[in-house]
Chain A
Amino acid sequence: MIYFADVAALTRKDLRVELRARDTLPAMLLFVLSTLVVFHFALPEGTGDDAAYGLLWVAIVFTALLGLARAWVPEQEHGVLDGLVLAPSDRSAIWLGKTLATLAFLVAAQVVALPAFVLFFAPLDATALAGVLLADIGICAVGSLMAAMAAASRSREVLLPLLVLPLAIPLIVGGVGAAISPEGGRYLLLLALYDGAFAVLSWASFEYVVTE
């Protein structure tokens, strides 16, 4: 239980830092809304709803990447990550805390972006929304680990999307499938499988990427 107390303390700290600095969430919001407007001009008349769903997923993945790129910035200033790594709590709690905080930002951005999408383009049903949530969990779980790896590198801004995009392809398949296929349940199953497998792997491997 003390493990979850640590996770809660770390997540709450991230939310508080964001509330003070307002570095991440406004940027994500503005980005996703601008992208939707760009799509209106990128989609020729009469391309249909399916194309819009596809583009929605492009917007979601890139918005998540924008948030993930900033995920570890507070820890990089003043070497805080070393401080957290030194603390006696389980190091995977640092990963879980960051994953939950990033997930909160992404969901908050979507609370505005998805109604805007429905207003501008096409309706979303319950299956599509479940797909969005499951894919959010997957991309934040994998992404916060990858962002920690990229943060230690020379070319972190460039590296992160390169690391994450190939890993995000199954999420896009699942998300688009859940939105447009009549048998959306199969895609939700794929997303759940992805989340389970990669969350466990990320959870288990975080400790290895934060020490020298």
Chain B
Amino acid sequence: MIRARDLEKRYGRRRVLAGVDIAVPARGFAVVTGPNGSGKTTLLRVLAGLAAPTRGILEVDADRAQLGYVGHEPLVYRELTALENLDLYGRLYRVPERRERIGMLLERFGLWEARNGRVSTYSRGMTQRLALCRALLHEPELILLDEPYSALDEEGTDLLDRELEILAGARTLVVATHDPQRLARLTTARIALA
């Protein structure tokens, strides 16, 4: 699914990634580890196509329609409600039976009650759950998660555990985390950044 050789990303003089080799097979579960500032976020942005590598070879067998991404930020409009945000993304991703799919996701992530509230009124945990809904909305083949647990409360953490359990083995996942222990049972590949 993902093959990368000698990947490098630099911003002018600053080298953020250097000599990264990756091989993640389809339906693999890869965990990206490394200390703060080792380029976990940059690597996921490069894999998502948000940033282009400066050097090296990168092949990702998924186009934008098949890619789901949860970043540092939730990527949803503060002034819109959960429903309106997902409706906009559902249109852009051309999700079939948009309403039903959105309703089901909101239900599953415990946001149905809050669906008509603006994101600006949400707690951090709720916003992160919405970010997960947004990333899974179009049932992507390749899912990139950047520290998905960071903003979640206890209930959200359990929800995500359950969700990853279902997705592992069915989809390809790349998860950046500082707590690889938590995902050890699902992990099939490790990418360690220094």
Chain A residues with Cβ under 8 A from B91's Cβ? 5-6, 9
Secondary structure class of chain A's binding surface, majority of residues: helix
Question: Can you name the residue of chain A whose Cβ is closest to the Cβ of B50?
Answer: A82
CB of B52 closer than 8 Å to a CB of A = yes
Which listed residue (A2, A9, A78) contacts B77, Cβ 8 A? A78
Establish whether residues B67 and A78, one from each chain, have CB atoms under 8 Å apart when the complex forms. no
- Docked pose: A77 CA to B69 CA in angstroms: 17
When distances are taken between beta carbons in the complex, the residues of chain A under 8 Å from B80 are 13, 16-17, 20
Asked if B71 and A87 sit within 8 Å, CB to CB, the answer is no
Q: Which residues of A contact B92 (CB under 8 A)?
A: 6, 9, 84, 87-89
Residue of A nearest to B88 (CB): A13
Contact of B89 among A77, A82, A87 (CB under 8 A): A87
Tell me, in angstroms, the Cα distance from A84 to B71 when the chains sit together.
13
- Taken together as a complex, chains A and B put the C-alpha atoms of A66 and B154 apart, in Å, by 44
Chain A residues with Cβ below 8 Å from B52 are 211-212
A21 to B77, CA, bound (A): 11
Q: Does B94 contact A86, Cβ atoms closer than 8 Å?
A: no
Segment 151-170 of B: residues with Cβ below 8 Å from A: none
Assign chain B's interface to a size class: 20 to 34
Query: Which of A77, A83, A86, A88 sits near B78, CB closer than 8 Å?
Result: A77
Q: Which of A68-122 contact B (CB under 8 A)?
A: 74, 77-80, 82-89
A88 touches B79 (CB 8 A): no
Known A-B contacts A9-B92, A79-B73; the reply to A86 vs B79 at CB < 8 A is: no
Chain B residue at minimum C-beta to C-beta distance from A91: B64
- Chain B residues 94-115 with CB under 8 Å of chain A are 94
Point out which of B67, B78, B93, B119 has the most chain A C-beta atoms below 10 A from its C-beta: B78
Cβ 8 A contact of B79, one of A20, A83, A85: A20
Q: Is B63 in the interface zone, CB < 8 Å from A?
A: yes
Task: Return 27 A-B CB contacts under 8 Å, by A number.
Answer: A2-B94, A5-B91, A13-B77, A13-B80, A13-B84, A13-B88, A17-B77, A20-B79, A20-B80, A20-B118, A77-B77, A78-B76, A78-B77, A79-B72, A79-B75, A80-B75, A80-B76, A80-B77, A82-B50, A82-B73, A83-B134, A86-B48, A86-B50, A86-B69, A87-B64, A211-B49, A212-B52
Known: A9-B91, A82-B69. 8 other contacts (CB 8 A): A6-B91, A21-B79, A78-B73, A79-B71, A83-B75, A87-B89, A87-B93, A212-B45
